[in-house]
Amino acid sequence: MKKIKIALIGTGYIANYHILGLKKLPEVDIVAVVSRQLNNARKFAKKYNIEKAYSSISPIIADVNVHGVIISTPNFLHASYAIDLLKNNKDVFIEKPMALNTEEAKKISLTAKKTNQLVMVGHMWRFDDEVNFLRKTIKEEKLGRIFKTKGYGIHENWGPSGWFLKKDLAGGGALADMGIHAIDTIRYILGDPNPVQVFAKIASNFGDYDVDDTGIVLITWDNGTDSLIESGWWQPHRDGPEASCGIFGTKGYANLFPTFLKFKNAADSKQIHPKFSAKTEHCDQVLYDRQMDYFIDCIKQRKQPSPGLKEGLVSLQVIDAAYASAKKSTVINL
């Protein structure tokens, strides 16, 4: 079997999850790693036995033998790196968010379509067993018509530092960092409807920075469902872990993390608690293993990934609309 040669750009926290997933795939050859700090690239390369370490993406662009690239950099580099790589016949996996904003995401999409290259976006909760169980439950209409949902993307008593706290580098704060998980997860569970209206209240309550650490977003989807999303860093309490949600239907209720179903009957209610494989942590390595396996399969099959261009763009459209809504104190129509 011909080896698929992959390079990694970025050596931060999340890159470790990606490479552990890639190393489980016998058809993959990890050929290089890039960090703007060459010493970080060399440490990462030594840790994972990667032959080449660079401080620039130029050698990756020039290497005709590299098939795909994993981009795990600060957000402001996503679009420029992805576009340069796509133009040079590389398929790309981009960590969420796809770009700083909708306009950048559209440029990535246009380039991918012009070059016939593949783009996958790192919305990893789509690979979770419990998420997919609820998606199937909704699709089979077991809960009836879904009229509202509540979702959470919150860090309790913790928040990031560094580039995450700078708007020009991150694009946004807790909404772009954590809220995006809640937005994409509930959209996926609902069958990927399109947003038609967004209203938001966004603030900074816990730090002196130019990004948000508190957000409440109300999304109306084209299927009629209203989704409430809460995002935050440093919150004193959270109603559920990352991407958790409650789903309200005319026949019953579903909860994600912990995952259970509650059906409405004439005289009482019945709960179902399905069994799932145990996780070692909430954002378990298996999610990233499945992501990487799927990305490599897309490269082999030459099929456009999902989550990909559309999914990454829609999430950013909602986030951009939320920031605009909060600034103008009005509903934004999409």
The span from the CA of 44 to the CA of 31, in Å, is 12
Q: What is the structure's pLDDT at 267?
A: 62
| Domain contains 50 | yes
Q: What is the structure's pLDDT at 270?
A: 76
Q: Which amino acid is at 288?
A: Y
Same domain, 87 and 135: no
Same domain, 269 and 327: yes
Q: What is the structure's pLDDT at 1?
A: 55
Give the number of domains in the chain: 2
Same domain, 192 and 273: yes
Q: What is the structure's pLDDT at 85?
A: 98
Q: What is the structure's pLDDT at 266?
A: 58
Q: What is the structure's pLDDT at 92?
A: 98
Task: Output the pTM of the full model.
Answer: 0.97
Q: What is the structure's pLDDT at 2?
A: 86
| Domain contains 311 | no
Distances (CA, A) of 212 to 102, 151, 202, 323: 18, 18, 7, 10
Same domain, 180 and 132: yes
Same domain, 86 and 162: no
Which domain, by its residues, includes 53?
Answer: 4-124+285-305
Strands 146-156 and 245-249: antiparallel
pLDDT along the chain (334 residues), means of 10: 92 98 98 98 98 98 97 98 98 98 98 98 98 98 97 98 98 98 98 98 97 98 98 98 98 97 77 94 97 98 98 98 98 98
CA angle 148, 98, 44 (to 5 degrees): 125
Terminus-to-terminus CA distance in the chain, angstroms? 46
Q: For 107-131, b where at least 16 C-beta lie within 10 A, e where not — what string?
A: ebbebbeebebbbbbbbbbbbbebb
